[in-house]
Amino acid sequence: MPIERTLTIIKPDAVAARHIGDIIKIFEANQFTIVAARLVHLTKEEAEGFYAVHRGKGFFESLTRFMSSGSALVMVLEGENAIARLREVMGATNPAHAAPGTLRKIYAESIERNAVHGSDAPDTAAYEIGYFFPGIELV
């Protein structure tokens, strides 16, 4: 399995609920190494740029308002097969469909306020890591 880097965000709902520590504990228990981290409060424009692929969808306005509503913890995680494995640890977008034990099953409030973000493929991981950590090595 290749060593990869992926981008995760502990979203404003989970930060406000004081779940940063719980979620990092699960990342580390799953053999992810934190190689970069920033606590941010995104502007609406930064949230729109990050989720630009979703511009035009019905949930875009509400999603970007939510993502800019409070502090979020952005991290680069490294590990074997990190991109796909993080998505498994996160669980389905909608917590109602997320498998037991996944982060979204445990911590998400709704399909929008769903606690964590994770890059979904190597090209999006590269874009998203560069969005928050310009200059960092991608692998």
Applying CB under 6 A, which residues contact ligand ATP? 54, 59, 63, 93, 111-112, 114, 117-118, 120
Largest CA distance in the chain: 38
Whole-angstrom Cα distance, residue 13 to residue 95?
Answer: 14
Q: Confirm whether 117 is a catalytic residue.
A: yes
CB closer to ligand ATP, 71 vs 93: 93
Nearer to ligand ATP, 85 or 117 (CB): 117
Residue 44, binding choice from Mg ion, ligand ATP, none, Cβ under 5 to 8 Å by partner class:
none
Residues in contact with Mg ion by CB under 5 A are: 120
Q: Tokens 């989720």, residue?
A: 51
Report which of 54, 87, 73 is spatially closest to residue 16, judged by C-alpha positions.
Answer: 73
